[in-house]
Amino acid sequence: MNFWEYMTSNSIINIVLLSWLVAQALKVLIILIETRKIDFSRFIGAGGMPSAHAATVVSLTTAIARTNGIDSPMFAVAFTVALVVMYDAAGVRLAAGKQARVLNKIIENWDKNKPDLFGEELKELIGHTPFQVIVGALLGFLIAMVVPVTH
């Protein structure tokens, strides 16, 4: 078996990828419903509803729990990583997005005679609200519980 056959036959990786794909597709769909415009950049972009970060790490953690048990070292590692990723998504990256929004306003109102010191506009949508993380986590959990997991 070659590398790609191993990767595609790994049910846990398939569950994680499916969770990411569904979460990102939902972002595009939600924006389409809200704005009546398709924004494919949301398919690969960070931030927004639901959190693909949370969906992927929770689906990974759930699939590992199903295959190895919640008393396994692998589950402990996955659970810890999931907590760190979700905290980062709803905490640090959300705060960074808010700071970017403020800095973009400052740059936008900068005296037009001053040289351009800032370059391109900073990304504002890089984090998640706690609700977006919870929805992403629930999505990842549901997908990992529904899709069959094999060793």
Q: What would the pLDDT profile of 83-114 be if each residue is shown by its tens digit?
A: 999 988 877 666 666 666 666 667 666 665 55
C-alpha 71: how far from chain center? 26
d(C-alpha 130, C-alpha 86), whole Å = 9
d(C-alpha 53, C-alpha 5), whole Å = 25
Give the relative orientation of helices 11-35 and 52-68 as an angle to the nearest 10 degrees.
150
Domain boundaries, the chain: 3-146
Average pLDDT of the segment spanning 128-149: 92
Rounded alpha-carbon distances, angstroms, from residue 6 to 2, 85, 138 = 6, 26, 28
Q: What is the pLDDT of residue 141?
A: 97
Q: What is the pLDDT of residue 129?
A: 81
Instruction: Please tell me whether the overall predicted TM-score, pTM, comes out greater than 0.85 for this model.
Output: no
